[in-house]
Chain A
Amino acid sequence: MAVVFKAPHALVDVPLHYCPGCTHGISHRLVAEAIDELGIEGKTIGVSPVGCSYNNYLYFNCDMIQAAHGRAPAVATGVKRSLPENVVFTYQGDGDLAAIGTAEIVHAAARGENITVIFINNTIYGMTSGQMAPTTLLNQVTTTSPFGRNAKDHGYPIRVSEMLATLEGPAYIERVSLHDIKHIRKAKEAVKKAFKVQLAGKGFSMVEILSTCPTNWGLDPIEALKRVERELIPHYPLGVFVGADLEV
């Protein structure tokens, strides 16, 4: 019997701990499928963040390193500079990457560090139960902006892809979304391209993945996906910010 669908080898066959409807599972699968299809599991080293995906070192079948909050790009730099022939990726949420880890991501990008960053943007801190993130939209209610985020007190949400695209170091930056099948397919191509950019030695690559947090958004999974399309994409437009013409 022909196998037409199976779990990627680069994912360990264990139940994930994520909440029902959370899109981390899809993101994990996209990364694992890219690793499988490129045949790079044996030479890949992933760096886990602090946040909901802190223990995805248990889920990915490649060698994994757990990093301190926000420091994954620095850790990945140390790994890549030690093993330049290997493939190194970080997997980071928006609290990890866009708040406490801002210096690390900016400078890894500025150096054109030849690593791949998978950036999960769901506009909230999930692990610590729904606090305001740098990416939280104006008027969005969180546990630390209970009356909605307002620009006067909290400033404005950061568009990380656009910000990093102003640097000369990055080779490829794209923002994708997981809110429907069509966009998931596109996200997969972006993740795969990011790894190919690294394999080609082109420099820093990042895919920002617009994701959901049904639990802390207080929405059911379907409504959460709809919110991505309705509210996130207008503020965080999809597209390629660096490397649109890059052939790898």
Chain B
Amino acid sequence: MGQKLLMKGNEVIAEAAVRAGCRHYFGYPITPQTEIAHYMAKRMPEVGGVFLQAESEVSAINMVYGAASTGKRVMTSSSSPGISLKQEGISYASGAELPAVIVNIMRGGPGLGGIQPSQSDYFQATKGGGHGDYHMVVLAPASVQELYELTVEAFNIADRYRILTMILGDGVLGQMMEVVNFRDEEKIDTCDKSWAACGHENKREHNTITSIHIDPAVLEQWNIRYQKKYQAIIENEQRYELYNCEDADIILVAYGSVARICKGVIKEAQAQGIKLGLLRPITLWPFPVEGFEKVVNIPKAFLTVEMSAGQMVEDVKLASNGRKPVYFTGRMGGMIPTVDNVLSKVKEILGR
């Protein structure tokens, strides 16, 4: 049966979280994602959940840290400047191996930047915006339907690996309205939470949640444990979409709303007799190198298209590993690349 609704991206993220069993949301207002908080403020009381507007992004992520420590499913959301403020908590929660979902609906930066869509937090999200050797799983939806699917999945991944999972969207996705098909029921993975600090009820030893290990030999062992987990995620969780790659002269590499623009580019190029494909990373970390292995022999070159100065280019170069040239085109500061922008770069590469 399911339920077919026309909804705004940000609201779908919130509804998906509720359907995934999230009953705790802590946030702070910032454009262009505040509809998530608006929705949660109304929705959480309906399901016996908690919505709390924190005094800052710093407090919001630390409330997440507390709720996640008790083993509950919890989420926070923000946009670029607010996500910068959350980095402290992100590093601590990564060290303490706490599962939680963090949403970043990106806007232009640096600094206060602007409120128009951007993808310039790619480095921060995938390379570790906080201190220490840690990673979050980073999911990059490209439609409102996928905001739903991946938000639900984000909670399952977080619990499965005891890791933070980030939904990395942009202002286009957050603000756009599309049809979304909700399932009647979500598949919620039941994961071991025996580590949680929820009161021992005099039935077990006391649990501790911590990221500090003063003895460097002990801290190294913890880091080895983290790295093993990250390796397992690299092996199991790479996601990507291949579109029209079979005989492409150039394969475009783009995620999120830019990937949709690229599908428009491919169509327009076809009309002009140019064969383009698209490799769309759905997981930005782990980066889908498996997808590159499948198609690296096909094109003359890869063209990375982003709403940033080209932050993903180095990952595309690492994944293609010198086998094909990697080009870049993009816009910054909240400007969105047009079909013509991308197509003229394609023609330049092909010498047409």
Interface residues of A (CB under 8 A from B): 41-45, 47-48, 54-55, 57-58, 60-68, 71, 74-83, 86, 103-104, 106-107
Cβ contact within 8 Å between A78 and B92:
no
Chain B, Cβ-Cβ closest to A100: B58
Contacts of B210 in A (CB 8 A): 48, 55, 57, 64-66
> B272 at the A/B interface (Cβ < 8 Å)?
no
Cβ contact within 8 Å between B206 and A60:
yes
Q: Of B70, B74, B212, which one neighbours A83 at CB under 8 angstroms? A: B70
Cβ contact within 8 Å between A63 and B206:
yes
Contacts of B92 in A (CB 8 A): 67-68
Cβ contact within 8 Å between A74 and B199:
no
Contacts of B24 in A (CB 8 A): 78, 81-82
Shortest Cβ distance from A78 into chain B, in angstroms? 2
CB within 8 Å for A54 and B56 given contacts A62-B199, A82-B24, A83-B70: no
**CA distance in complex: A31, B270 (Å):** 73
Contacts of B200 in A (CB 8 A): 41-42, 62-63
**CA distance in complex: A60, B60 (Å):** 26
Among A55, A68, A80, A106, the one with the most B-chain Cβ atoms within 10 Å of its Cβ is A68
Given A45-B69, A66-B210, A79-B67: 4 more A-B contacts, CB < 8 Å: A77-B52, A77-B63, A79-B197, A103-B58
Cβ contact within 8 Å between B202 and A42:
yes
Chain B 43-78 near chain A by CB (<8 Å), digits 1 or 0: 000000010101110111011111111101010000
Cβ contact within 8 Å between A71 and B59:
yes
Chain B, Cβ-Cβ closest to A87: B199
* Chain B, 162-219, CB within 8 A of any chain A CB: 197-203, 206-212, 214
**CA distance in complex: A57, B202 (Å):** 17
Contacts of B201 in A (CB 8 A): 42-43
Cβ contact within 8 Å between B88 and A44:
no
Cβ contact within 8 Å between B66 and A107:
no
**CA distance in complex: A77, B89 (Å):** 15
A–B pairs, 20, beta carbons within 8 Å: A57-B208, A63-B200, A64-B208, A65-B197, A65-B208, A65-B209, A67-B92, A68-B62, A68-B88, A68-B92, A74-B63, A75-B62, A75-B69, A77-B66, A78-B66, A79-B69, A82-B198, A83-B70, A104-B55, A107-B55
Chain B, Cβ-Cβ closest to A85: B199
Contacts of A64 in B (CB 8 A): 197, 206-210
Chain B, Cβ-Cβ closest to A71: B62
Minimum-distance CB pairs A-B, first 7: A78-B66, A74-B62, A66-B210, A78-B63, A63-B197, A75-B66, A107-B55
CB within 8 Å for A67 and B65 given contacts A43-B201, A45-B198, A60-B206: yes
Shortest Cβ distance from B164 into chain A, in angstroms? 14
CB within 8 Å for A82 and B67 given contacts A44-B199, A61-B206: yes
> B269 at the A/B interface (Cβ < 8 Å)?
no
> B26 at the A/B interface (Cβ < 8 Å)?
yes
Cβ contact within 8 Å between A68 and B66:
no
Chain B, Cβ-Cβ closest to A43: B199
CB within 8 Å for A86 and B199 given contacts A45-B70, A68-B92, A71-B59: yes
Cβ contact within 8 Å between A65 and B66:
yes
> B96 at the A/B interface (Cβ < 8 Å)?
yes
Cβ contact within 8 Å between A66 and B209:
yes
Cβ contact within 8 Å between A71 and B96:
no
Chain B, Cβ-Cβ closest to A61: B206
**CA distance in complex: A41, B204 (Å):** 12
Contacts of A79 in B (CB 8 A): 66-67, 69-70, 197
Contacts of A103 in B (CB 8 A): 55-56, 58-59
Contacts of B202 in A (CB 8 A): 41-42
CB within 8 Å for A83 and B199 given contacts A77-B63, A103-B56: yes
Cβ contact within 8 Å between B67 and A42:
no
Chain B, Cβ-Cβ closest to A84: B50
Shortest Cβ distance from B281 into chain A, in angstroms? 31
**CA distance in complex: A72, B64 (Å):** 12
Shortest Cβ distance from B227 into chain A, in angstroms? 22
Cβ contact within 8 Å between A63 and B63:
no
CB within 8 Å for A67 and B63 given contacts A41-B202, A78-B24, A79-B197: no
Contacts of A48 in B (CB 8 A): 210
Shortest Cβ distance from A53 into chain B, in angstroms? 12
**CA distance in complex: A159, B74 (Å):** 35
